[in-house]
Chain A
């Protein structure tokens, strides 16, 4: 079975570049991942199951997935809003705002972590106004949501923005000439076109938020059963040299990531198909 499809390309370097790519990925990704599998196979099923279903671990899954879901949901609402405003409206400093949206991709997570923690601490700029209202952010699940919202902020904006830009005005014009109100046009014409992009952005934001570590270390306080997210649990197991337990929990997280990756790929294909019409 030939690897190369179609007629032979006249361009050189197929063997060299594909060979190097596969070798690089093999050494950097597949080999280390296989170590994870080998380590897991050392455990019996009973050991594995009791590790990944221990109460502290289950509490961490709930917290990790719950907060990531909340952050991704916040970013769907505000990401759509920001993309809409950036594409449809004109205001002073739009290009600056547009560039700023990518800040969470460029800013190291540890920096984001200490900045947000100092802001939302009871003595911080924002925390001092929330403390009298009885709202606790730092060392509470709410703080985790704040940090995750920050780090996953660009995803929905950046997936929705190009689709919104390419959206033809003709359908809207047709709907308007037939007497549709602005709200009807938005919910019946624009929103259905945006759904694939919104869902892709949501899944990307969620996947990023579930695995986040750097910013959460500072803001969550890492209280077991209360504010301990799964990546942090893996980290503390490693610090206690309990490698088998860390690996088992890591495998569960990796499985969740793979499923998410498949869902994202599927949705992108779906979106492309829709766009092809």
Chain B
């Protein structure tokens, strides 16, 4: 039997602890106005421009060999970076949260690096490494391999930009969960893989899902780094964002915004998933708290009593 625990919350706030009504309304209006100007209007503008010549023209924008190729290449790049960075994120989070070792903060700083490095520099370092004048350039040419102005370079640059996301999502989640459950499983004789699949993964799946979604959203939209290493060869090395740039510069605004609307929809899906994951984790936390409350021995505070009995303020 589960009884609902209600925590009494006075509806009317004491006046000294909030602002006068007109201040509250003004501040809310200012904040919402700012967000509407910077977030909502640009969002609406993308779809408005894409559909400005009607739905037929909108759909016709995708009947284009180059657009299709750009979409396919983008999907390949996303798949490659999500798989590699997912594996990296899980192993890095495992090493960082389950053990204490020297140089951990240095490792954490390294993982944060792409957040502080300009995407153009991310592209530049791969050009310097694999370009014709680069460190491995002559060797690659002798073996007839191409990294820069080709798909491998695009994948590498995208991986560089997006590798922190899964790790950064998982580290706090695994840190807060501690190591007790895994240690118990170990003591009971479970092997490493079994501990991971049966204990750790179920605990981190929501954080992992959000990390992977965030990683794929960024991989899909990466522009600066990819722009440097791709060489903009239509039908060969153009990802969707680069294709949008070319269309825009050719004044094909409807097509440019049509492709942009596709990426915008995916961005909105990311936001929805994020909200769902947050809602889910909050619910689990609230449930765990309520259960911990119920499990207290008889004779302690009865669950019907509010946690902090509030007296109504005069």
A-side residues, CB < 8 A to B, are 1, 3-6, 9-14, 16-18, 20-22, 24-25, 28-33, 35-36, 38-39, 78, 81-82, 84-86, 88-89, 91, 95, 97-112, 114-116, 118-119, 125-126, 149-150, 153, 169, 172-173, 176-177, 182, 204, 207-208, 210-214, 217-218, 230-232, 234-235, 238, 241, 243, 246-247, 250, 253-254, 257-258, 260-261, 264-265
* Residue in B19, B109, B183, B272 whose CB lies within 8 Å of A261: B109
Interface size on B, residues (CB 8 A): 99
In the complex, which residue of chain B has the Cβ closest to the Cβ of A254?
A: B121
B-side residues, CB < 8 A to A, are 14, 16-20, 24, 27-28, 30-32, 34-35, 37-43, 45-46, 49, 88, 91-92, 94-96, 98-103, 107, 109-113, 115-121, 123-129, 131, 133-135, 156, 159-160, 163, 179, 182-183, 186-187, 191-192, 195, 214, 217, 220-224, 227-228, 241-242, 244-245, 248, 253, 256-257, 260, 263-264, 267-268, 270-272, 274-275
Residues of the A chain whose Cβ atoms lie less than 8 Å from the Cβ of B271: 99-100, 102-103, 106
* Residue in B37, B39, B109, B256 whose CB lies within 8 Å of A100: B39
Output the least CB separation between A213 and chain B (Å): 4
The 9 closest A-B pairs by CB, nearest first: A108-B221, A211-B118, A214-B223, A213-B224, A176-B16, A32-B125, A12-B192, A106-B267, A17-B95
Let me know if B31 and A118 touch, CB within 8 A.
Answer: no
Let me know if B117 and A257 touch, CB within 8 A.
Answer: yes
* Residue in A104, A126, A177, A250 whose CB lies within 8 Å of B121: A250
Residues of the A chain whose Cβ atoms lie less than 8 Å from the Cβ of B103: 3
Known: A211-B116, A253-B121, A260-B116. A29 touches B224 (CB 8 A): no
Residues of the A chain whose Cβ atoms lie less than 8 Å from the Cβ of B109: 261, 265
Cα–Cα, bound, A33→B129 (Å): 9
Residues of the B chain whose Cβ atoms lie less than 8 Å from the Cβ of A107: 43, 221, 263-264, 267
Let me know if B94 and A99 touch, CB within 8 A.
Answer: no
- A-B pair count, CB < 8 Å, reads 289
Residues of the B chain whose Cβ atoms lie less than 8 Å from the Cβ of A265: 109
Output the least CB separation between A218 and chain B (Å): 7
Known: A85-B27, A111-B221. A238 touches B127 (CB 8 A): yes
* Residue in A24, A38, A213 whose CB lies within 8 Å of B120: A213
Output the least CB separation between A144 and chain B (Å): 14
Known pairs A30-B110, A234-B121; list 20 more (Cβ under 8 Å): A10-B183, A11-B183, A12-B195, A14-B99, A14-B101, A18-B101, A21-B92, A31-B129, A35-B128, A81-B27, A85-B27, A85-B31, A102-B274, A106-B271, A107-B43, A109-B241, A110-B221, A169-B17, A213-B224, A247-B124
Output the least CB separation between A253 and chain B (Å): 6
Let me know if B101 and A3 touch, CB within 8 A.
Answer: yes
Q: DSSP majority for the A interface? A: helix
Residues of the A chain whose Cβ atoms lie less than 8 Å from the Cβ of B94: 13, 17
Residues of the B chain whose Cβ atoms lie less than 8 Å from the Cβ of A150: 38-39, 42
Cα–Cα, bound, A119→B121 (Å): 29
Cα–Cα, bound, A265→B126 (Å): 27
In the complex, which residue of chain A has the Cβ closest to the Cβ of B111?
A: A25
Residues of the B chain whose Cβ atoms lie less than 8 Å from the Cβ of A231: 118-121, 224
Let me know if A211 and B17 touch, CB within 8 A.
Answer: no
Known: A11-B186, A29-B113, A32-B128. A234 touches B120 (CB 8 A): yes
